[in-house]
Each structure stands twice: as structure tokens, then as C-alpha cells.
Amino acid sequence: MLRSVCLGGLLLLSGCASLPFGGSSSESQYQRGWVSLEQDQYYLRGCQDLAAQPVERIPAHLQRLFRQRGVSAPLYIEWIGEPGMAGEPTQIDQLRYVSPDPGACRQHLSGILMRAEGPSPGWQADITDSQIRVFLPQQRRTLVFPVGSVIRQGSDWWWENDIQGRQRRHRLSLRIQPEACQDGHNWYGLTAVMELDGQEYTGCAKRGSLERLALFREYRLDPSVTTRDIRLQLLPDGKAMLSEDYLNQQPPLVSRGQWQLLSGGRLLVSLDEPDPQLQQEALLFMIQEGGAVQLPGFHPRYGRDGLRLHATGTRMPWESGRRLVP
């Protein structure tokens, strides 16, 4: 049974964690990156960051985890905390996921708000904005339930619904609880209990839709450029604004539109209301390490090297969706 367990083995922690869904304050956000320990000093590096920043305070059970592992390799973590500006240290308030997997930053769970899964027998439930997709690999069966209403009981979240199958009616109850859970080498801050057609399945849960955590709310041209100031602002609701100030005592040229994340680490900024002097309709940026976005190749306004903007704002918050509140 994985429900409400205290952890053993590689990820043995002292006691069971009780972690609420929300952050410690209205400014807290969901984040991801790497924690390392060097000469009794902890360092934190976001998935898109080039350099690690020292962290003064991390949860006590994460400190115990480093001591128990006895190795110096960094750990991938997802956490809730107050985000710093680009390149600034942040704060870890509540752990949500810990893994030694070196490729964890490349796993985004695109389009999935929450994934719950467990062994014995194996199962997986992916919660999206509109449906819960249940996969039972041993039975080679997939069932898709509408999300329907979400029930909140204390700190627990509970989904219930039923659908008509070819031969019978299927009933689903899925509950996610803020309690520690272990799945092989990984530690989770959420426990999942699913009941499907009268059979109970237990496991762990974590958030998905992690691509936008690579974005920041504002980007600008390198301050060393003294001929103009270009800024790109991205709002959590998908709106975007591009301004170009030529530092000639004239108002900046401003275009407004929408932004969208595409596959392969691409950011599409569509300017629905371009400034007539800019005459631009869409810009396709590549998201780079270090928090920058690069408009590659030749551009008639920016030359053969395109346009490179550096992150200067705070990180983009996680997208909770219409029906799932973080």
C-alpha cells in the first residue's frame, strides 16, 4: 500500500509529510530545478538556468535525504516557493516531487494538469482540463471520463464520474491527498487513491503541464545596447506586449497580441495589434538556457543575427486550468 506511507530505502525520510495543495502565500509559485550540496552549502539551479544560486534554507527532510543518499549527485525537485527575479536565488517552502533522474527537466507532461499512477496492479490516471484518462496496462484498457465536478474535502481533492461502456457502466472515484508517497526511486508530496468499478488502486501524484515554467514574465534587450530598448512582456493569461524604444525622446512603439508555447522549446508571439511602424505579425523565438529567448536567423528589423532578449522578470506561474486549483 502506498497511501500515507513513511518512506524507506533510497528516499527514506523521517516521518510522513503533510503538504497542503496551496503555497505558503499568494506570491508562492510552482517551480522546478536541481538542488546540489557542496561543502555543507546547498545550491539551487532552475531547469533553464546556467548558474546555481546558494540557498539559505531548505526543508529539513530534504537535508536528511541528501545525508542518507551518501552521494554528491544533484537531485531534481519540484517545489512551491516565492520566485526570485531572473538569476536570483529563490526559496523552497514546500516540496512536491524529488527524483534522481538526470533527464527530469526534459519531462513536461504536456497537456496534463495532474498525473496519478501506481503499481500492483499498474495504473495511470491523467487529469486534463476536460477529462480523466485512465490507463490499465495489464488489461490493455483505456477509459476516458469527463472531469465533471471537483469535490474539496479539507486538503483533499476528489473526482467522481461514470461512463457507459460497450458492455457495462464504469464508475470512477479519484482522490488526491497532500501526504508523502514513494514510487521506486522518486518521492512525491501527493498520494492518490483511485477506485474503479469497485477495485481500489493506490499510488502517487504530481503536476504536469510544466513547459511554461521555463518562461519569464518579461524579457529585454541586453542593457549594453545603447541605441534602443526592446521589451517583451508575457502575461499568464496568454497576452503579450512588445515595445521598442529608440531612446530619441519619442514614445515607444508598442504592439499587442498573444503568446503560445509550441513543441521543441519554441515561443510564438502573434501580434494581433502591431504598431504600424513595426509592421510585424508574428515572432517565433527559441527558448534557451539561461532564461533568454532567441529569434534566430535574419530578420529585416534586427539583422542577420536575429533578436536575443534576456529574462528580467519573475518566472511564469504554473497553469492550473479551469477546473484544477493549485
Taking 80 as the threshold, does the pLDDT of residue 19 lie above it? no
Q: What are the pLDDT digits (tens) for 36-53? A: 988 888 899 888 888 888
Taking 90 as the threshold, does the pLDDT of residue 208 lie above it? yes
What is the per-residue pLDDT for 249? 85
Q: How confident is the model at residue 206 (pLDDT cuts 50, 70, 90)?
A: very high
Question: From the CB of residue 194, how many other CB atoms can be counted at a distance below 10 Å?
Answer: 24
* Dihedral sign computed on CA atoms, order 84, 89, 91, 96: positive
Between 74 and 274, name the one with better pLDDT.
74
The answer to whether the beta carbons of residues 146 and 134 sit under 8 Å apart is no
pLDDT number for residue 115: 96
Average pLDDT of every residue of the chain? 83
Q: What tens digit of pLDDT does each residue of 230-285 get? A: 999 999 999 999 999 988 888 898 999 999 999 888 999 998 877 777 777 889 99
Question: What's the whole-number mean pLDDT along residues 101-105?
Answer: 93
Mean of the pLDDT values across residues 168-190?
A: 92
More confident residue, 13 or 133: 133
Q: In this predicted structure, which of 81-90, 136-145, 276-285 has the lowest mean pLDDT?
A: 81-90
pLDDT exceeds cutoff 60 at 15: no
The reported pTM is: 0.80
Q: Which three cell numbers stand for residue 29?
A: 509559485
> What is the reported pLDDT for 101?
93
Q: What percent of the chain has pLDDT over 90?
A: 44
Q: Give the bridge partners for 57, in sequence order.
A: none
Asked whether residue 80 carries a pLDDT value surpassing 70, the answer given is yes
Does 178 sit behind a cis peptide bond, omega within 30 degrees of 0 on the bond before it? Answer: no
From CA 134, how far away is CA 194, in angstroms rounded? 10
Averaged pLDDT for residues 297-309: 85
Three-class DSSP labels, the chain: CCCCCCCCHHHCCCCCCECCCCCCCCCCEEEEEEEEEECCEEEEEECCCCCCEEECCCCHHHHHHHHHHCCCCCEEEEEEECCCECCCCCCCCEEEEEECCCCHHHCCCCCCCEEEEECCCCEEEEECCCEEEEEEHHHCEEEEEECCCEEEECCEEEEEEEEECCCCEEEEEEEEECECEEECCEEECEEEEEEECCEEEEEEEEECCCHHHHCECEEECCCCCCCCEEEEEECCCCEEEEEEECCCCCCCEEEEEEEEEECCCEEEEEEEECCCCCCCCEEEEEECCCCCEEECCCECCCECCCEEEEECCEECCCCCCCCCCC
Scanning the structure block, which residue is given the C-alpha cell 527524483? Answer: 99
Residue 153: the pLDDT is 83
Residues 6+ apart with CB under 8 A from 249: none
Residue 22 clears pLDDT 90, i.e. is over it: no
